[in-house]
A and B are shown apart, each in its own frame.
Chain A
Amino acid sequence: MRTALCVLGVALATAFVISVGAATMRYTAVIKEINVLFSGQVVVVSKDSLVIQAIPIGGSMLMQNRTESMIKEIPSAEKTVPILFIIPLGVTETSQLVPPNFTMGIPVDDWHIILGSSSLEGNAGRFPANESSQEVVVGSSLAGQYNWKMGTELTVKGYSLNVTGILDAKVALLGRSIIMPLELAQNIYSYNDMVNIITVKPAAGYSQKELASAVRENLTYVNALTEEERNDIIQPVIAQVEMWNQGIEMVALLINLILIMNVMVMSVSERRRDFATLEAIGAPLNYVFRIVVFEASLIGVLGASLGIFFGSLSAVVLASLFTSIPLVQFFGGIFDLVPPLYILEMFAGIVIFCCVGGIVPALNATRTRIAEALRAEY
């Protein structure tokens, strides 16, 4: 019974670490990967925007034509791409920690800048034909959730939109996005001639840093961020999240260690006669030592296995609760949420800590005085 409770204790601590660890790791991974979309570009946003990687959160809009034409006059700027990025938070969605979907409006000629190597699912379908066509491409995760297929008619703010392709996106943000021509997005959301991001490619011979400072000098109402600067903004936050994660892991591992040590000390003291018998019939001390450490590690293996199983399940449930994405969609990609390497690391860490927790009781067991233990009443 006590051993079963100990296994349960180890399993609970492990499940807690796994669920919290997996959920936060996923968040940081998603945040980190956003910058991949704008690789090699300087991102220009309104000065009062809070930027998470390349995505402006809040802040004023930029006048598209005026801002673009001013940037184009800068010699170190080669190419500009205006983007309207919408996080559609409705009244019922404001309590969501993670928005369930995004809308991106991009000029049809420049889609390759954002979509990079992403292709359309099954190599079928096509990107929207022109700026005025009421056609969209949707991310595979979003399409899976709502069972959207090529040819599906979507209604967004009263506009009827035709799905021309499902984007097979490697980046989570794109997987949850509805991507449409810029002009269409501006019309739907009533942001005529307005965007909130302009990506700028440096001209040959200029670095991102030089381009960004030139943009900042010429346009006082914008903030221009290089790839490195965008990473720097998020780095302290990610580092802090990772530090908290490691702290929680360490606390859970220490709880496991103390739990195992207590249970094994009690177990050894109750079985002193058994150990004395073993030694009396000729068992070497290291045999007794190994028995106790083996038992401790077995508790670790069972506890870690149960904990990883239930922790992974709760990570899926947590992710689903926070994002409103159905559970089934996460089950398919459970190893994206709880990476196998993380599972292995946690499993090894717990088993090692449990082994270490068994060392003191094992040493206790080897110090059994045979004559005394055999004489004692238990």
Chain B
Amino acid sequence: MKIETKNLTRIYQVGSSKIVAVDDVSLSIDEEAFIAIVGRSGSGKSTLLNLIGLNDKPTSGRVIIDDIDVSGLSNNQRRKTRLQRMGFVFQTFNLLPTLTAKENVELPLALAGKPQREQEEKALKLLDAVGLASRVFHRPKQLSMGEMQRVSIARALANDSEIIIADEPTGELDSKTARETIGLLSQINRKEKKTVVVATHDEKVVEEADTIYAMQDGRVLGTH
């Protein structure tokens, strides 16, 4: 999946003041690339990821996926694109607390209308791949932070997503678990040929990235 943004701007109205979260950002994410977006808190990394991941609509500018402008897509079309082509990994994992690890991974498959048996097989395979074969029936509360993040990565891969969008995936993890998570994302990028876009402070992630975009005050300052 190739993603481009052209003059992407997102302005939030808070009371009477306007906050420019993303300001005229143009960038390109190549297929099978590992991209890191770095910057301080409030620099606009998460907003940019939400715009790229079609979770938010830009105030102006365009998001182009595989040469198709998706800025004008309806909510339903955006949802379908997210479901079929994108996977999300969040800083706080965002697993549904009432579901087991397996059920959390099955969820995108169920939403895509896959048969129950296929859901189960795929979820077990993915959980095995992230090293959680023995934690399948545990609920999020019974898992460690690192394990929860691995379940979250498995969920992001469930529908064979072409791109994994991760917002501070190591933000809540200790250094050892953070290293393992980065290794897992890197492995997914190299072996599974998935595009990975990570917003991060973590230098270890930066070391793995093919391209690094540095952000400040909603603008991309430079590329490495």
Contact = CB atoms under 8 A, between A and B. Distances in A.
Interface stretch (A14-22, A147-155, A273-281, A299-307): A273-281
Contacts of A277: 88, 90, 94, 96
A375 B76 CA distance: 22
Contacts of A258: none
A371 B56 contact: yes
A255 B87 CA distance: 43
Interface string B132-157: 00000000000000000000000100
B96 A280 contact: no
Interface residues of B, number: 27
B80 interface: yes
Contact of B83 (A274, A281, A370, A371): A281
Contacts of B211: none
A274 B96 contact: yes
Contacts of B88: 277, 280-281
B140 to A, nearest CB: 11
A330 interface: no
B83 A282 contact: yes
Contacts of B96: 274, 277-278
A283 B111 contact: yes
Interface in B53-82: 53, 55-56, 75-76, 79-80, 82
B107 interface: yes
Contact of A281 (B46, B56, B97, B111): B111
Nearest to A283: B111
B186 interface: no
A374 B55 CA distance: 10
A281 B167 CA distance: 14
Interface string A265-297: 000000001100111111111010000000000
B55 A370 contact: yes
B145 to A, nearest CB: 17
B46 A375 contact: yes
A274 B90 CA distance: 12
A37 B100 CA distance: 65
A282 B84 contact: yes
B155 A282 contact: no
B39 interface: no
Nearest to B97: A274
Contacts of A369: 56
Contact of B50 (A285, A287, A370): A370
A284 B90 contact: no
Contacts of A281: 82-83, 87-88, 107-108, 111, 155
Interface string A180-196: 00000000000000000
B47 A280 contact: no
B79 A282 contact: yes
Interface string B34-48: 000000000000110
Given A277-B96, A281-B111, A374 B90 contact: yes
- Name, among A273, A282, A371, A375, the residue most crowded by chain B CB atoms within 10 Å (CB to CB): A282
B112 interface: yes
10 contacts: A274-B96, A280-B53, A282-B79, A282-B80, A284-B79, A287-B111, A369-B56, A371-B46, A371-B47, A374-B46
Interface of B: 46-47, 50, 53, 55-56, 75-76, 79-80, 82-84, 87-88, 90, 92, 94, 96-97, 107-108, 111-112, 155, 159, 167
Interface of A: 273-274, 277-285, 287, 369-371, 374-375
The 3 tightest CB contacts between A and B, nearest first, are A282-B83, A371-B56, A371-B50
